[in-house]
Amino acid sequence: MSVEFPPSAAPRSAYPADALPEAVRERLRELSARSEEPLATYLYDGEVAAGRARELCAALPEWAQVYYAVKANSFPGVLAALAPHVDGFEVASRAELALAREALAPGTTRSGSGSGPAGTLAVVAAGPAKSVPVLTDLVRAEVESINAESLLELHRISAIAVQEGTTARVALRVNPQDIPVTGSLHMGGEPSQFGVPEPDVPEVLTEAARLPGLDLVGFHIHAASNNLDAVSQAAYLRWCVEWSAATAAAHGIELRQIDIGGGIGVNFEGEEPFDTTRFGELIARSAPPEGARVIMEPGRFLVADCGWYAAEVTDVKSSYGHAYAMLRGGINHFQLPTSWDIVHNVAVLPIDTWPAGLPRPEAARTRVTVVGELCTPEDTLLREVHIDRVRAGDLVVFPYSGSYGWEFAMPHFLGHPAADRTML
């Protein structure tokens, strides 16, 4: 079995420490000074996330709405920072539903003047294998819509709604045959566990119309992720609107919701950022039918740059000519660098305090591989990055760690302590 490592960072150099915001540097030094154990923490700036949400929402026409995908970062402080600036939340579990409800309180229901229907919780729900307990909680919470993934799921939602004496709003998730979109993660146009294949949609819609507990409001088409091209993302939205309108008309559905999923990407080194202004200008020409709204579910785009993962260097070692910075942490806290084919660069934050009488190993003006504390070579976060100086006791800081960081890690392997999480 081969081990999957992140790509080599050579010939890149680590970011200088002053590339980190001053407030982040000060806060990390403060946390390091008062910690009795080697520091490993996520630090989040809620205003950065809120600013990103405001930027996107300001670029969109009135019929386009932003629902933050809680899976990207579920820390309560981040949700609280985003809640005033998005139209709602997208959830995929009972735990995420509870977090969304808490973040939306006390305004947990819409007045009718906002983005969603009056009397509903500002939440849309997704997930490919929703259990009966999950569906029951969603129905009872009166979420704005449940994105149903199959005919069986539609039957289950209907039965729960009838038992609860209510009607559940649902959108059918569709796996289209062809989609005009680029991106690193495709979830449409090919065999998949997600959604109903497009050829099966007519039969499923016919059956759904007979189910007493359902109010079919539209469609969900989440076909790709991490798209940095505003032109192709706008073309994708236009295609979703046109397809949904035609399908709804053909089946006598009152179209009220077109959920295009997420898809907006995050730029790392050497990549151009997603142009929200251009995207907004392009989609303004693609208005949905009257009475319908288009929902976007960005996650990574809103929170990637609001977070930093910092871990103390517990040792610096040389092995057959290769230098290693050993962290109190690793993929048990931050697995993303090993699962996404990118170089996730770092900054080294010097920490001057060090116990008297102990040697303090360092690596200087050389390439360093950054590894964690787990008993596996896969615990490698960054390979062969040029570092001016790194010492035991310093902090290695990963910017752009606000999305799919702690939520995507494997914290129980070996049982080391979890990373702390705190707001700036």
Enzyme catalytic residues: 375
**From CA 65, how far away is CA 17, in angstroms rounded?**
37
Tokens matching residue 81: 């920072």
Nearest to 384 by CA among 341, 340, 337, 325: 325
**From CA 120, how far away is CA 168, in angstroms rounded?**
10
**From CA 377, how far away is CA 86, in angstroms rounded?**
41
CA torsion 220-225-228-234 (nearest 10°) is -10
Question: Which residues, including other chains, have CB under 8 Å from residue 218's CB and lie 6 or more apart?
Answer: 145, 171, 172, 244, 248, 253, 255, 256, 257, 258, 259, 292
Residue with tokens 């962290």: 327
**From CA 19, how far away is CA 346, in angstroms rounded?**
10
Give CA 7 to chain center in angstroms: 22
Contact 120, 86 (CB under 8 A): no
What is the secondary structure of 280-311 as a DSSP string? HHHHTT-PPSTT-EEEE--SHHHHGGGEEEEE
Nearest to 213 by CA among 262, 141, 165, 272: 165
**From CA 257, how far away is CA 290, in angstroms rounded?**
11
**From CA 171, how far away is CA 10, in angstroms rounded?**
47
What is the secondary structure of 316-372 as a DSSP string? EEEETTEEEEEES-STTT--HHHHSSS----EEE------TTS---EEEEEEEEEE-
Contact 69, 408 (CB under 8 A): no
Side chain identity, residue 377: P
**From CA 403, how far away is CA 408, in angstroms rounded?**
9
